[in-house]
Amino acid sequence: MMPRANSGNFFEDFRTGQTIRHATPRTVTVGDVAVYNALFGPRFAVQSSDAFAEKIGYPRSPVDDLLVFHFVFGKTVPDISLNAVANLGYANCRFLAPVYPGDTINASSEVIGLKENSSRKTGIVFVRSSGFKQDGSKVLEYVRWVMVRKRDDKAPAPPEHVPRLPDIVTPSTLGDACPPLDMAGYDFELAGSSYRFGDYEAGEKIDHVDGITVEEAEHMMATRLYQNTARIHFNQFAAAQDRFARRLIYGGHVISLARALSFNGLANAFHVAAINGGRHVAPLFAGVTVFAWSEVLAKAELPGRSDVGALRLRTVATKDRPCPDFPYKSDGADDPAVLLDLDYWVLMPR
């Protein structure tokens, strides 16, 4: 008899070109939004207030972009990364349509590359994962690569293929998840800052000042909300045997914390349009206080749009380390306080 429980795919189970439809579809509700707000405390006005969103042309407040990302990511875990050793990177993540409470999200992944490691014990799996609404329209797409264990070291490796991935999402493709807006209705005082697209300069750095300490109950609630089943986040009994002897916090948790912290300095950066890439530089554990700072890497106008412009940001999150001096690298190596190095595009009123 076959085992009933899912033990996930191992490296040798994947084939380039294969498509996997993921369980479990999920209707996003105002309840999910409230739990997310309680866990991270974002304050971007567009997502916080239906009245504010309606005044600029949305039918109501869209769901936070990162919450949509976490829902899609969570669905991929049982099929893609249940036997992962490490999540290696992201590329070409694009938000393609706004999601509203009541929408149901599905996800699927295409395997776009495979490469066995020289140890023959693991291999790298490249997937393009997509999130869809109930009507089949795509809301999100991203590439992730992850190191996955082999079930059997001696199993033959699938044919090697390493995909070419863009370093950056080109600005001309941004904005699909942001309808044309009427910025005459955008109230900068209510939004919390007078700084708009034109006020930021490439190269400037922003200390987001505040810090948030993370508790075990919080990261587990967040990760369960996303139906992300990666065992290492929930199981202290098993974690006690591991190198860190602690539950490892889902990498997306620090992304959401950094995004919420970034409000203080980027209050009008209301939409994450794309993620160019990201590195989880160090693991996060409960008890740590997370701080963040951002650098404006570039600015871009969007073709045909006078309502919003795009800032390319690097946001760096740190552990137990305030960021007035923007800790990042020293002598080419990552500063030991750095947790996250995220490169992404946000949209702002012009």
Sign of CA dihedral 67, 69, 70, 74: positive
Residue (205 or 305) nearer to a second copy, CB: 205
Give whichever of 21 and 160 is closer to a second copy, judged by the CB atom: 21
**Using an 8 Å Cβ cutoff, are 279 and 312 in contact?**
no
- For helices 216-225 and 251-261, the axis angle rounded to 10 degrees is 100
Minimum CB distance to a second copy smaller for 91 or for 148: 148
Q: What is the spatial distance between Cα 233 and Cα 109, in angstroms, rounded to a whole number? A: 22
Q: What are phi and psi of 20, to 5 degrees?
A: -120, 125
Q: In the bound complex, what is the minimum distance in angstroms from residue 156's beta carbon to a second copy?
A: 26
Least distance to a second copy, CB of residue 267, Å? 7
| E-state strands within the chain | 19-27, 84-95, 104-116, 122-132, 138-149, 205-207, 212-213, 271-280, 289-301, 308-319, 329-330, 333-334, 338-349
Measured from the CB atom, is 130 or 223 closer to a second copy? 223
> Of the candidates 208, 209, 210, 213, which has an alpha carbon nearest to the alpha carbon of residue 285?
213
Q: Minimum distance between the CB of residue 7 and a second copy, rounded to whole angstroms?
A: 7
Residue whose token pair is 């109501």: 60
Residues in contact with 345: Cβ distance below 8 Å, sequence separation at least 6, in sequence order: 169, 171, 174, 272, 273, 274, 275, 276, 300, 310, 311, 312, 313
Which amino acid type is present at position 214?
V
Q: Of 206 and 310, which has the nearer Cβ to a second copy?
A: 206
Pick between residue 44 and residue 126 the one whose CB is nearest to a second copy: 44
Least Å distance, CB 2 to a second copy, is: 8
* Least CB distance to a second copy at residue 341 (A): 20
- Cβ at position 279, least distance to a second copy in Å: 23
Q: For residue 174, which of 79, 271, 267, 239 has the smallest C-alpha distance?
A: 271
Q: According to DSSP H, which parts of the chain are helical?
A: 30-40, 45-48, 50-55, 65-80, 188-191, 216-225, 236-239, 251-261
Q: Of 144 and 319, which has the nearer Cβ to a second copy?
A: 319
Minimum CB distance to a second copy smaller for 166 or for 324: 324
Dihedral pair phi/psi, residue 117, rounded to 5°? -85, 160
For a second copy, the closer of residues 121 and 224 by Cβ is 224
Min CB(199)–a second copy separation in Å = 8
Report the alpha-carbon distance of residue 210 to residue 196 in Å, rounded. 21
**Least distance to a second copy from the beta carbon of 191, Å?**
6
Q: Quote the least distance from Cβ 292 to a second copy, whole Å.
A: 11
In one-letter notation, the amino acid at residue 271 is: H
